[in-house]
Structure 1
Amino acid sequence: MTVRRYLERIGAPMPGEPTIEVLRDLHLRHLRTVPFENLSIHLGEPIVLDEAALVDKIIDRRRGGFCYELNGLFAGLLRALGFRVSLLSARVHTPDGEFTHPFDHLALRVDLAERYLVDVGFGTHSSYPLRPDWPEAQADPGGDFLVVDAPDGDVDVLKDGEPQYRMESRPRELADFGPTCWWQQTSPESHFTKSVACSRLTPEGRLTLAGDRLITTVAGERTESTISGDDALLDAYRTYFGFTLDRLPTDPKSAVVA
């Protein structure tokens, strides 16, 4: 029942055998349906890496989440459909050329006849799974992606020549990401606590609601407008992302410090 409701959530039919064609279809449907968002942090909702809690949030309440939630629950769906899935820890590349701490990002590896990097929780990223052992750049609607060897058996993922994150090869459990998930939602140093954002892929590009700014990208052209008023913002979440909030998240950028 949960699998069927999850597939209905992303508009996918019940698949047959686990194949790369099925994986590609589920990956794209997920990105276009389930938003990458950090609203729980600014609504005072604890983020718990428990399958029942994730099902309630993402499937029943039709919300989104960040990497631990999105890739964590997507892994459960893929396993239920017969895919072999590993959860992998990654460190995100920073503007100063360094990498963040371990467990800063959760990505997936799916083993079919070949291995695939699956990631529906990194915001703006590839539309389809990537081959982690492919020697050349891989063309994708999201850009040209290259996966190259890094020290200690890790791999670096690059988009259009720019490093995105460094991923380990050692499989992890979802609970391993719990402490960093807590840090991401509570630390003033976490970029998730510094702003409010909700975003999803569209057939034409991307749609993002950042605070009160609606950002639409179509064929690489970005358009931005301001949504004024609480009712209009609540309606925007319903219209563009398909879920209903009973109140707006608190935007830290507009908070007044006494």
Structure 2
Amino acid sequence: MNSAQVDAYLRRIGVDHPAWPTVDVLRELHLRHLQTVPFENLSIHLGEEIVLEEKRLLDKIVGAHRGGFCYELNGAFGALLGALGFDVTLLAGRVYGEDGRLGVPYDHLVLWVRTVDGGDWLADVGFGAHSHYPLAVGERGEQVDPAGVFRVVEARADPAGVRGGGDSAEFGDLDVLRDGRPRYRLEVRPRVLGDFVVGAWWNSTSPASHFVRSLVCSRVTEDGGRITLSGGRLTVTSPDGRKEVADLVGDEEVLETYRDRFGIELDRVPTVAGAGQDG
């Protein structure tokens, strides 16, 4: 990234250019990214190509004021952090399903970030409802976050409380838990963005992928809650977990909500093939 691209990205998330790549700066960038750049899979349902190349990601997220899913969001965020002087390593993850089993390889992309004032952190702005702030890699106790209580632990073949485990864990792999439930497993070995092309293709084309079967556009709100548009259903979640749900009427109201609530300008409403607008 050149200096003009860095400045444009920082304007996109509403952050001044930091003096040093410290943990406090990382925390601010992480939260502001979650508040301003939506987690969304609209490209899949608009017939738009998803390309894991730095320029294409910046064109989409910064230039077109869009969001994306993990490969796009964490891929672009990692490029920004690297340009700001952070030491960034891309890690591959596998997401735990509802049945407790791990998903396909390269199912998720997470950033391992080192700051100049010490410490290693897991930054993840591409997992939907997840931690608002980076998680300390070396901390094995509870890490309290506005989004819940998180833990980073050494992976085991059958983590406590997971039904139908049995997936082997290699030495050094980590499980990330939220409120006692494993969310994903990380392979602690460096990757490059191109390694995730197959995972992105599977998640954007396979009938077994939940991204293909449903629509989502979601971001953290300024008060620490969350706002989510799933097809034609808008859900606003307060910081204490209370939900307000509204069914939008007509394409114009849906397009207006994308524009006013998420800053996304669309010329047509994305729909799931063979499904109603609620996805």
Residue 50 of structure 1: aligned partner: 53
The Cα shift of 1:114 comes to 1.2
Runs of 4+ in 1 over 4 A off after TM superposition: none
Q: Does 1:217 align with 2:233?
A: no
Count of residues paired in the alignment: 255
Residue 214 of structure 2: aligned partner: 195
Q: In the alignment, residue 237 of structure 2 is paired with which amino acid?
A: T
Q: Does 1:28 align with 2:31?
A: yes
Residue 181 of structure 2: aligned partner: 162
3-state SS of 1:87 partner: strand
**Deviation string, structure 1 residues 207-248 (Cα, Å, up to 9, x no partner):** 000010000001210110100111111111000001210111
Mapped to 2, the partners of 1:135 and 1:72 lie a distance apart of 26
Mapped to 1, the partners of 2:119 and 2:60 lie a distance apart of 32
Residue 142 of structure 1: aligned partner: 147
The Cα shift of 1:203 comes to 2.5
Residue 276 of structure 2: aligned partner: 254
Counterpart among 131, 135, 144 of residue 130 in structure 1: 135
Unaligned runs of 5+ in 2: 156-168
Counterpart among 222, 231, 238 of residue 252 in structure 2: 231
Q: TM-score, normalised by structure 1?
A: 0.97
% identity of equivalent residues: 55
Unaligned runs of 5+ in 1: none
CA RMSD of aligned residues (A): 0.9
Deviates more, 1:16-25 or 1:145-154: 145-154
**Deviation string, structure 1 residues 39-89 (Cα, Å, up to 9, x no partner):** 000000010001111111100110000000000000000000000000000
**Does the 8 Å contact 2:212/2:272 carry over to 1?**
no
Mapped to 1, the partners of 2:197 and 2:234 lie a distance apart of 31
Counterpart among 106, 124, 128 of residue 119 in structure 1: 124
Mapped to 2, the partners of 1:5 and 1:179 lie a distance apart of 29
3-state SS of 1:125 partner: coil
Mapped to 2, the partners of 1:98 and 1:195 lie a distance apart of 21
Mapped to 1, the partners of 2:63 and 2:189 lie a distance apart of 32
Residue 73 of structure 1: aligned partner: 76
Residue 7 of structure 1: aligned partner: 10
Mapped to 2, the partners of 1:246 and 1:53 lie a distance apart of 20
